[in-house]
Each structure stands twice: as structure tokens, then as C-alpha cells.
Amino acid sequence: MKSILLTFIIFSISYSTEWQVPQPIQPGNLAINSPSFSGDNLRIYCGIYYSIYHGDIAYYDWNGTQWVYVDRVPGDVNTTSEEFEPFITYDGQHLYFDRYDTNHVLYVADWNGSAFINSRALNANINQGDSRYPSLTQDMQYLYFAKGLKIYVSEWNGLDWGIPTILPPSVNNGGMYRYDVTISPDGNEIYFTGTQPHSNWIAFSRKVGGVWQQWQYCDSNINIPGCTLGSEALTYAPYETQELYFARNFSPGTLTWHALRSPVAVEPASLGQIKANYK
């Protein structure tokens, strides 16, 4: 009984550990959304919302000091429709994204060495209704996305994406529309924002022993009471780190990116080991 109680106390402490105070990322004054990191963490793919390029996917590179805008992604990803919510696979070979014309449809494009080409809609298993916010595990075996009020997952069967299953109530209960779905590289943590009861606050659920725990809001270092994250509040946990990237909307049209590091290790294996196995 004592060992069971001790285990519960340790788990309770680790599960509720606070995030560090976030710091703005420079230059931090562009209205971008949905960051997705390359495997080496030196490039960010994102949606852009400024100038004449409203609703295109672009990328930033790390110059050793700050993130620098480079260009819109080359190839056939960007069209006269709106493209956003990109997700780059760990190996950099596939770019998943949401294309909106009259409905939200998930697409994927392939890297040919100089551009992303062959943009095509994912199969009907995925694109039934309003499918948004694609996010893949590092091994590219599981695709998480939002549809309606809920979060779903589909497994790669070797040829295509299978019929998705809805995540359990511990992740999906509460009746709010889930935005900005982000799965951690090892598939053991999922982050999202919602519409109620706290609009656009960042929430998460952690898988422990293969079971998704009841979702909860991130602590007040992220979700500052009285501070609206805005409709473009986004999350991402880059490969091999425990960092969370998101935006706070302090003024119309201006999003200030923040990053912070979680002191909580993701179980059951380190992300570094997963990367080694993946290679």
C-alpha cells in the first residue's frame, strides 16, 4: 500500500510540474502560424499571414542568433486557395498541410531535392468533413488531426492511411472545438487549444502506461489569467527537445512567438533514443 501511495505521489508531482517562464522569439513581429520544425531544428515551416502572401506556406531558417524569413516553399503547395497548418516529417521528405477552398482538406507533398511537388489530398478515410491540423509521430506511423470537435488518429498500413479512430474521452471530453493539434515525436503527449471554457488556452494530455490521461490546461506560465492567446495560438514540441512554441496576440495582426522548456521527461523512452532508433 505504501509503495502504491508513493508511486501516486511521484506521478502527481511530475504530471503537474510547471513550465518555465516563456521568452519571446525574435524577430517576433510577423503574423505566422503553425510552426513545424525540421529534424535538425534549424528550419521552421509555417503559414504566413502578411503582405500579399495571405494563406501561403513559407519557411524560416536559424542563423545562429534568430529565425530569419527565407521565402515561400517552392513547388506546387501554394495555390490561389489558402494553405496553412504545415507539418514537415522528420526526414524532411514530406510536407503535410491543410488546404482550404470551400472546405478544409488535408494534403501531402513530396520533396524532390529542390521543391515540394505532387501535392495531393489524403484519402477519404482522412478527408471526411472538416479535417484539420495534421501532426505525425516521428516514425511517421501515426497521423493525428482534428475533425469537428474531436481529435482522431490514423495508422499507416504500409500503403496508405487507415480508418481513423477517435481518441478517448480523456482527451476529447468537454465539448470544445479542438484546434492546433500537436503530437509529440514519440506519441506520448498531445497538445491543443480549444474554444471553451477558456478560449484558446493551451491544453494537453499525457499517455502513461499506454493510457491517455485526463486532459488539463497548461499552467499559468503559459495560460496567463487575463491574457488572450488569440485565434492564432499554436503549439509545437520540436524534435529531441521538451520545448513548446506558441503565440500570444498582444495587438491586432501581431503575434509574438514564445518558447519554453518543460522539466518533465516524456516516458517511456527518451526522444534521443527514439531518434537513434529511427536512423
Spell out the domain ranges in the chain.
Answer: 23-278
CA distance 153 to 137: 11
CA distance 146 to 158: 23
The label of the residue with cell 485565434 reads 231
Is the pLDDT confidence value at 250 over 70?
Answer: no
| pLDDT tens digits for range 102-131 | 899 999 999 999 999 999 999 999 998 889
**Spatial CA neighbour of 140 closest among 121, 119, 154, 120:** 154
Mean pLDDT computed over every residue of the chain: 79
121 bridge partner residues: 107
- Give the pTM: 0.84
Is the pLDDT confidence value at 26 over 80?
Answer: no
CA distance 11 to 245: 25
**CATH architecture assigned to 23-278:** 6 Propeller (2.120)
CA dist list (Å): 231 to 33, 184, 195: 10, 22, 9
**Of all residues in the chain, what percent carry a pLDDT higher than 70?**
72
pLDDT of residue 48: 78
Q: Which three cell numbers stand for residue 74?
A: 517552392
| pLDDT tens digits for range 211-237 | 999 999 888 888 876 665 544 445 666
CA distance 57 to 186: 25
CA atoms within 13 A on the CB side of 229: 29
Is the pLDDT confidence value at 156 over 80?
Answer: yes
* DSSP summary character for residue 178: E
More confident residue, 179 or 265: 179
